[in-house]
Amino acid sequence: MFARLCLVVSQLLLQLYWICTCLCVAVSTDTDRQFVSDSEVIELFLDNIWMEFGLSENTLAAYRSDMFNLLKWVSKQSIGLLDIKHADLLRYFSQRVEQGMQSRSGARLLSSIRRFYKHQLQHNVITVDPAEKIEFPKLGRRLPDVLTEDEVDKLLHAPDDTKVQGIRDRAMLELLYASGLRVSELISLHVIQLNMRAGILKVFGKGSKERLVPFGDQAGHWLERYLAESRPALLKECHESSVLFLSNRGQGMTRQTFWYLIKRHAATVGIEKHLSPHTLRHAFATHLLNHGADLRVVQLLLGHSDLSTTQVYTHIAQARLQALHHDHHPRG
């Protein structure tokens, strides 16, 4: 109760601070604006969208990087971040493309800048949104390489389950494939989120959205082995941690460490496809659809807020069926 009250009070104080800052900036002259720096405006924007939408640290870091890169550029042009015009932004994007910015990076950058200026407009800090009519070439959605069921089976069997680390790796891979978690969700799991009796995980996804995700008997078996044999050994003497999956040092695992583990185990069993940290998440969704799962059920399991995000996996499943038809039908 006290923690919730503190959160409400902090939200109110932050909103009050933002309103005061907006009023200050809105009524100030160009000379007075020096009292609220452009970098402070960016940080206030980040604080507000974090409080309002519960964005993850990775998402906030991406916004911060994009906005401070823009700030660096406008400073060289002797333009204020809140004084920038539509033509200035077009020039900025043009220069970034000339420097080799790819479509995917450009789309993300535009999304960050649009959100920033839309936020300023909504709070009456600016009267015209300079980013509103800027368009970036639409991305063709690239279908990720998806492992076949045989390849997944090889990957799951790659860790050496006679070793402490091997049991841990097997449990992580089994759980990832059984549940379709994001890697960030997997490594941030705490023991308390795991209900072994019910075979269910309580997951906090993007925007701190909570969902319940089932896992099967195989994942359950390896989790039991990990909790009984591996995790106690990884916990160093007199060391305590509530994190479910531990590194060799007895601490929480990073995304980079887990990504290295996937690549190492894939190389061990000769998997040469282009892999990503979400390889098993992609396989989870595609294999469910291949076996007749409803698209909306897959959406819920993946934690997608938009069904269109999940629909990319139907294209993968269809492409796989077409390839099978072409390879095996006498008139393919």
- Please indicate, yes or no, whether residues 116 and 263 belong to a single structural domain of this protein: no
- Please indicate, yes or no, whether residues 115 and 156 belong to a single structural domain of this protein: no
Inform me whether the pLDDT recorded for 308 exceeds 90.
Answer: no
The verdict on residue 3 lying in a domain is: no
Number of compact structural domains in the chain: 2
Percent of the chain's residues with pLDDT above 90? 38
- Please indicate, yes or no, whether residues 158 and 55 belong to a single structural domain of this protein: no
- Please indicate, yes or no, whether residues 277 and 157 belong to a single structural domain of this protein: yes
Tokens of 223: 């989790």
34: domain range? Answer: 12-122
CATH number at residue 205: 1.10.443.10
- Please indicate, yes or no, whether residues 114 and 164 belong to a single structural domain of this protein: no
Q: What band does 292 get if pLDDT is binned at 50, 70 and 90?
A: confident
Inform me whether the pLDDT recorded for 15 exceeds 60.
Answer: no
Q: What band does 31 get if pLDDT is binned at 50, 70 and 90?
A: very low
Summarize the confidence of residues 9-23 as an average pLDDT: 49
- Please indicate, yes or no, whether residues 166 and 214 belong to a single structural domain of this protein: yes
The verdict on residue 6 lying in a domain is: no
Are β-strands 200-204 and 194-195 bridged in parallel, bridged antiparallel, or unpaired?
antiparallel
* 214, amino acid identity: P
67-104 pLDDT tens trace: 999 999 999 999 999 999 988 898 898 788 778 887 77
The verdict on residue 294 lying in a domain is: yes
- Please indicate, yes or no, whether residues 161 and 269 belong to a single structural domain of this protein: yes
- Please indicate, yes or no, whether residues 50 and 176 belong to a single structural domain of this protein: no
Q: Cα(70)–Cα(80) distance, rounded to whole angstroms? A: 11
Average the pLDDT over each of 1-10, 98-107, 203-212, 266-275 and give the range with the smallest value.
1-10
Tokens of 261: 């583990």
Which segments of 77-204 does DSSP mark as H helices, in order? 86-98, 103-122, 149-156, 164-179, 183-187
pTM of the entire predicted model? 0.56
Inform me whether the pLDDT recorded for 196 exceeds 50.
Answer: yes
Q: Cα(214)–Cα(288) distance, rounded to whole angstroms? A: 13
The verdict on residue 262 lying in a domain is: yes
* Residues making up the chain, counted from first to last: 332
Determine whether 101 is exposed, middle or buried from the number of CB atoms within 10 Å of its CB (0-12, 13-18, 19+): middle
- Please indicate, yes or no, whether residues 25 and 86 belong to a single structural domain of this protein: yes
CATH number at residue 105: 1.10.150.130
- Please indicate, yes or no, whether residues 297 and 242 belong to a single structural domain of this protein: yes
Q: Output the CA–CA distances (angstroms, integers) from residue 41 to 16, 115, 116, 190, in the order listed.
A: 14, 13, 10, 35
The verdict on residue 134 lying in a domain is: no
Task: Please identify every residue annotated as catalytic.
Answer: 182, 206, 278, 281, 304, 313
Q: Cα(326)–Cα(135) distance, rounded to whole angstroms? A: 39
The verdict on residue 156 lying in a domain is: yes
Average the pLDDT over each of 6-15, 40-49, 222-231 and give the range with the smallest value.
6-15
Average the pLDDT over each of 46-60, 118-132, 150-164, 186-200 and give the range with the smallest value.
46-60
